Structure 1
Amino acid sequence: MDAIEKIVEQILEKGRIEISTFKKIETDRIDREYQEREELLYLQESKCIEKNEDQLNKSYKQKENRQQLEIKQATLNKKQDYLEKLFLESVERMNHWTEAEFQTFAEQIISHLPVEGEAYLKLGAFSKGKLSEQWLVEQSNGKLTLNVETTVIPNTGGFIVAKDGIEYNFLFISLVQEIRKKESFKIAELLFQ
């Protein structure tokens, strides 16, 4: 019986060894698969985090650029408003020139006009009464005779010189608009350096 017990014992021992070996192989396989999956999940998580960081950085850059554009636009709008006020204030000041200031301005303009013969001055409402008859006589010379029309141009200052259907516009609003078109950029550079 001893021999049978030894054979049974050997078979059981062999079974325990096989089970232990199988258990170790399976445990190693499971650990290896777990490690691989863990590394894969970690890699996926890292990629996901990196992708989210990239998206956040892009979103941040877009918002930053948008804010910078909005600030630049707001600054530009303020500068344009300031320039608009400056030009309007210039017209307003010209509209309130004294008689002497207006006459000096008109004299400088008329002396450079390529007009001969009889010409008509049509005054803006704010300039009415600032050119006397004596001033008109003094400005008239052998080549040019000036007459003031009785009708005025409402809500503006300055004048228009008319001769044979040709009009030379020296209304203050028109002069300032012309300067604004030509010199606005230079004026803005000087003001906002």
Structure 2
Amino acid sequence: MDAIDNIIAEIDRKAAQERNQQKIEEEGKIIAWYEKEVAKAKALHEEQLTKQSKTLEQKFKQLASRQQMDVRQETLVQKQDYLDQLFEEAYDQMKAWDKEAIQRFAKHNLKALDLKEAAVLLPAGPKVTEALTKDFIQSLNLSYPLSLGKGSQTSSAGFLVDVNGVQYNFLYRDLLQEVRNQAGNELSKKLFS
């Protein structure tokens, strides 16, 4: 019976060896699978972190850009408001001119027109109407006949010169608006740089 016990013991020993070998192999497979899954999870985590970081960075850049644009827009509005105020003050100063200043302004601009035909001067606003009289027109000694038309008592100050239906506009607000349209950018640069 010793031989049978030896055979059984040998079979048990080989079976135990195979089980140990199989156990070691399976544990190795499980460890390899686990490490592979952990590596995948880490890679996926890193990828998601990178994506989220890029998304957050892009959102930050967009917000920063939007904020800069808002600041520029607000600054531009403030500059425009300041220019509006300056031109309004200039208009108020022109509107407050005395008789001599109004006449100097009119004389300078009428001579600069250098018209060759008969014209009609149309004063606007109460102070201008009082300053630009027939006596004033006669004192100009222009090379063309200039007559005085009916003055307008509107709130707009200045005058128009009518030559056969074509009107040259010297209303203060319109002149200032033209200056602003033509030189507004240049004025802004000088004022705000």
Q: TM-score, normalised by structure 2?
A: 0.91
| 1:65 paired residue number | 65
Secondary structure class of the residue paired with 2:27:
helix
Kindly report which structure 2 residues correspond to 1:169-184, keeping only aligned pairs within 5 A, or say none. 169-184=169-184
- Per-residue deviation, residues 67-91 of structure 1 (Å, max 9, x unmatched): 1111111111111121122222212
Secondary structure class of the residue paired with 1:151:
coil
Query: How many angstroms apart in 2 are the aligned matches of 1:118 and 1:14?
Result: 133
Query: How many angstroms apart in 1 are the aligned matches of 2:161 and 2:58?
Result: 62
- Per-residue deviation, residues 15-41 of structure 1 (Å, max 9, x unmatched): 111111110010001101111111111
Is 1:154 aligned to 2:142, yes or no? no
Secondary structure class of the residue paired with 2:167:
strand
- Of 79-88 and 26-35, more deviation after overlay is shown by 79-88
| 1:54 paired residue number | 54
AA aligned to 1:164 is N
Query: How many angstroms apart in 2 are the aligned matches of 1:174 and 1:116?
Result: 25
Query: How much is the aligned-residue C-alpha RMSD, in angstroms?
Result: 1.8
Secondary structure class of the residue paired with 1:120:
strand
Query: How many angstroms apart in 2 are the aligned matches of 1:135 and 1:152?
Result: 18
Query: How many angstroms apart in 1 are the aligned matches of 2:116 and 2:187?
Result: 36
Contact 1:139 1:146 in 2 (8 A): no
Kindly report which structure 2 residues correspond to 1:87-106, keeping only aligned pairs within 5 A, or say none. 87-106=87-106
- Of 117-126 and 173-182, more deviation after overlay is shown by 117-126
Query: How many angstroms apart in 2 are the aligned matches of 1:145 and 1:39?
Result: 100
AA aligned to 1:134 is D
Is 1:135 aligned to 2:171, yes or no? no
Contact 1:117 1:145 in 2 (8 A): yes
Q: TM-score, normalised by structure 1?
A: 0.91
| Number of residues of Structure 1 aligned to a counterpart in Structure 2 | 192
> Structure 2: any 5+ residue segments left out of the alignment?
none
| 2:38 paired residue number | 38
Query: How many angstroms apart in 2 are the aligned matches of 1:85 and 1:75?
Result: 15
AA aligned to 2:19 is I
Query: How many angstroms apart in 2 are the aligned matches of 1:69 and 1:90?
Result: 31
Contact 2:133 2:148 in 1 (8 A): no
AA aligned to 2:164 is D
AA aligned to 1:50 is T
| Percentage of identical aligned residues | 28
